[in-house]
Structure 1
Amino acid sequence: MTQRGSSALRTFGCLAAGLLALAGCSSGGGGKSGGERTPSATASTAAGTPGTPAPAPSATAAAPLVPDLDESKQPRTAAEARALIGRIVIGQESLGPEVVRATPFESNPARWPVLGEDCVWQTAGLPEDVLATSTRYFQVPAKDGHGLVRINATVTVHRNRQESGWETAHAMEEILRCPDQRLRAGEELKGLIGFSLYQGQGLNGWTEDAFTESGEYVSKEGGGPHPYLWSQGQFGPVTIAVAGKGAEGFTSEALNTLVVQGTARMMLQAKQALGKAAG
């Protein structure tokens, strides 16, 4: 295995372990409802600050953590999908006291990110299989020797489970086609590599389909390269994802913790909103 592949695999393992550990802690209790691709894990908000590494998984964390989907709860209209997103997407309080809203705070609900043939991201109207999508933008302001850290949280509601499952496949295709991508003028991702695991494979015990993407983030404003991480999960027709863009002086472990916290909280809330009640 190449050094790059080995590093990416370690990143995936750390992320999955953190998500499983959090899922094990939260599987017995409820979480408050609240509020750009596919697969991930489940859990409640992690304790500690962004600099605190995720705890190691316990033996009980391997227990089934994905409930059956209650199809009667699936949204059928765009309005119902937007209401569901409001119950799943996180606010800054789910990421810790150091995290604040960015400006703009929310994406245009009528637009959808598309990776062009030139490996440049742009937006287009929502595809037919998507009822609604929303991305919220957060940041950890530059202070205490580190630069500005950016965190994005996305929830997408498809018309059915099959369509949400295709989102992961497309995510892997995008990495293979474009390991280097331009987000916008002055912002780029470099050396992207990804891993996708169905429920039950490897450490994926928290989501129907898990996808992790890692690489380097470079920007005109913040320099770089800095760590970049994307974690995505699926439950029924819903995909949730959190992206983290690092900065000078902000450790990879701290960035991983933020991504784990956001991914875990949204997956937990998706299961609470759409899963069958136990018993």
Structure 2
Amino acid sequence: CGEAHAEVNAIRSVKNEELLRESTIYVSLEPCSHYGKTPPCCKLIIEKQIPRVVMACFDPFPEVSGRGVRMLREAGVEVITGVLEEEAIRLNAHFMTFQKLHRPYILLKWAQSSDGFIDRMRSCSESPVLFSNAVTLMSVHRLRAEYDAILVGTRTALYDDPSLTVRYWSGKNPLRLVIDRRLELPENLRLFSDGNPTLVITEKIHEPSGNIEYLTVDFTKPIIPTLLQELFRRKISSLLVEGGAVLLQSFIDSDCWDEIRIEETPFELKNGVCAPVVTRVPDRFFYSGGHLISKIHRR
């Protein structure tokens, strides 16, 4: 946040500025026209006398949508809009969802056996079923690096003791969120003891402690709306839900999701914890290693 926009970086990369007066600048999103953490890109485009802008989609933020185009055209810049608009909206899905729906873009992800189980029935002292191979493990960590926050439930935290960090890919760690209604999770879990930031969703009132913050919510009501409001307030534009079947199903049943990724392995478990149920048919399939990954997009 607060870094130079793509237009600024593109213009700065041109060594011979005389060429800018003969150039066309292509952007996926309407150039900004207001002063925020950075100066307006439109002002720079006009100052550098770039004669033509080709744009995919308008800024979804109501207070500024259309302003950039108007500012450029009034300065004599030719502006072409709507080029590859649908593709640009998908490319900027996190930003678009955050601005339009006032909540983060939500991706639900899980791995399952070919017969539809995400784990066997086990105690917290037993190891979980490992579905991932080296390729899909890197894919998961790459995904984490692309999201602002990651969420798991109480059972996943207790039974799997995950780190939820980016270790097999480069990038920053997402903010870790864990649901712990009664603050019963042990303090020696990796979520609490490795020094990385964690936000605990609980019904208890608790002061922050070191790397751990607490969000108090009313568990007698659905907690997802409250959580999403808090994430929006914190300017978290994307949420990856890696929790167990109950948590994932609650997001599906609440219709609070934008995308689902399912890693399906070729072997069967025969019985165990059933995978979440999705009634929609995936609109894209692709292979990664020996695993079939289905990718579902909301429209």
TM-score, structure 2 length as denominator? 0.22
Higher relative contact order (CA 8 A, sep 6+): 1
Q: Which has the higher strand share?
A: 1
Please tell me whether Structure 1 or Structure 2 has the larger radius of gyration of its CA atoms.
2
